[in-house]
Amino acid sequence: MIKKISVSLKKKSYSIIIGFKIFKKSDFLFYFSKNKRYFLITNNTLLSIWAKKILQIFKKNNINIDIIVISDGEIYKKIEQVDYIIKELLKKNCSRNDVLVAFGGGVIGDITGFVASIYQRGISFIQIPTTLLAQVDASIGGKTGVNHALGKNMIGTFWQPKVVIIDLFFLSTLSKRELLSGFSEVIKYAISFDKKFFIWLEKTFFRLINLEKKSLLYCVKKCCKIKAKIVSLDEKEKNLRALLNFGHTYGHAIESCTNYKNFLHGEAISIGMILSARTAEILGILEISQVKKIISLLNKFQLPIFFPKKIPLLNYISYMKRDKKNSYGKIKLILPFKIGLVKIYDNIKEEVILSSIKNSFEKI
């Protein structure tokens, strides 16, 4: 069964399509034209597992498609990859009428979207996310970009895709670590916006980890509906959309401090959510019982919850100060008021942040 969710925007509204074995059933063909050229951007890992099969399906249906393969992993999410893709597009005479197709996880989606937004002043692109994290979060909303040595996602644009096609069948070949990392963003939605969803996750975690179809479809659809609604209300993160960044200021700083080598994105966000909950506890806005519930759920999904002790705290604070949500060097955080409700808090003092980190060294 195919589920369809709309992202309603003033200029570039689009659909999120969710299903199982969409490509085997050729259900994707409606979103592709035989009169256009498509350039599939992917990585070597996906090339060997899925991309060749997908290319065959496209060609069998007379869709004109070429492929560009880039390096895999967050450490390669750099401007150099953007330059490489643009060179390949120019060599292949890619025009403004052609379409890029992001086939991969969040890194592939972010880079492809960024290239689409700047190549010949903007061309269309399609998102086909293959990781859970990308399916529930990164592929939706039009945030694109690459990392800089001094901060994550500091170079980028807002550029919406034509469509997001989510085939849950792709999750069957994810490593366990990559799959569990994606559930961090799922839990983020529950803590931030929906207490009932949080309770459902507590009860359903085993079925989700084991990719039970009905539960997985409900879970992904739920997350996509939440994000689609928020993006529709605040496309370019002027206010409400910032709430989607719960745990991310802390998490992005962890990724930056460890050069994107020690933690997957979802793992860093998991730790970031604990640090945010600890911060809220210290400020007296979140009860300790709620902190324990958050930790318990992250534990069920086997996600990390302790701050890495090897990170120098002064370096860490420096990265946090560069976060895009901050103003005039004052640290702004998204903190939980209770499970199902987060708020924006301005000018969080460094001593509070340091206290939350030190508290996260110890088990509750």
CA 302 distance to own-chain centroid:
19
Contact 113, 161 (CB under 8 A): yes
Distance CA 340, CA 285 (A): 14
Active-site choice (77, 252, 278, 332): 252
Which sign, positive or negative, has the C-alpha torsion 76, 42, 20, 189?
positive
CA 157 distance to own-chain centroid:
15
Joined together, the tokens standing for residue 183 give 């559930």
Told to judge if 322 belongs to the known catalytic residues of this protein, a careful annotator would answer no
Q: Give me the phi and psi of 8, to 5 degrees please.
A: -90, 110
Place of tokens 């399609």: 126
For residues 138, 96, 25, 171, the Cα torsion angle rounded to the nearest 10 degrees is -20
The residues with which 65 forms a beta bridge, in sequence order, are 38
Active-site choice (77, 78, 152, 241): 241
Active-site choice (78, 222, 265, 278): 265
Active-site choice (185, 255, 267, 281): 185
Contact 104, 130 (CB under 8 A): yes
Distance CA 109, CA 17 (A): 16
Active-site choice (43, 245, 278, 281): 245
Active-site choice (74, 237, 255, 267): 237
Active-site choice (227, 255, 281, 332): 227
Told to judge if 214 belongs to the known catalytic residues of this protein, a careful annotator would answer no
Contact 137, 223 (CB under 8 A): yes
Contact 58, 32 (CB under 8 A): yes
Told to judge if 248 belongs to the known catalytic residues of this protein, a careful annotator would answer yes
Q: What is the DSSP letter of 236?
A: T
Q: Which run of H or of E encompasses 148?
A: strand 143-148
The residues with which 15 forms a beta bridge, in sequence order, are 6, 163
Told to judge if 148 belongs to the known catalytic residues of this protein, a careful annotator would answer no
Q: Determine what percent of the chain falls in helix, strand and coil, rounding each to the nearest 5.
A: 50, 20, 30
Map residue 179 onto helix, strand or coil: helix
The residues with which 126 forms a beta bridge, in sequence order, are 101
Joined together, the tokens standing for residue 306 give 């302790």
Q: Which residues are catalytic?
A: 121, 143, 185, 227, 237, 241, 245, 248, 252, 265
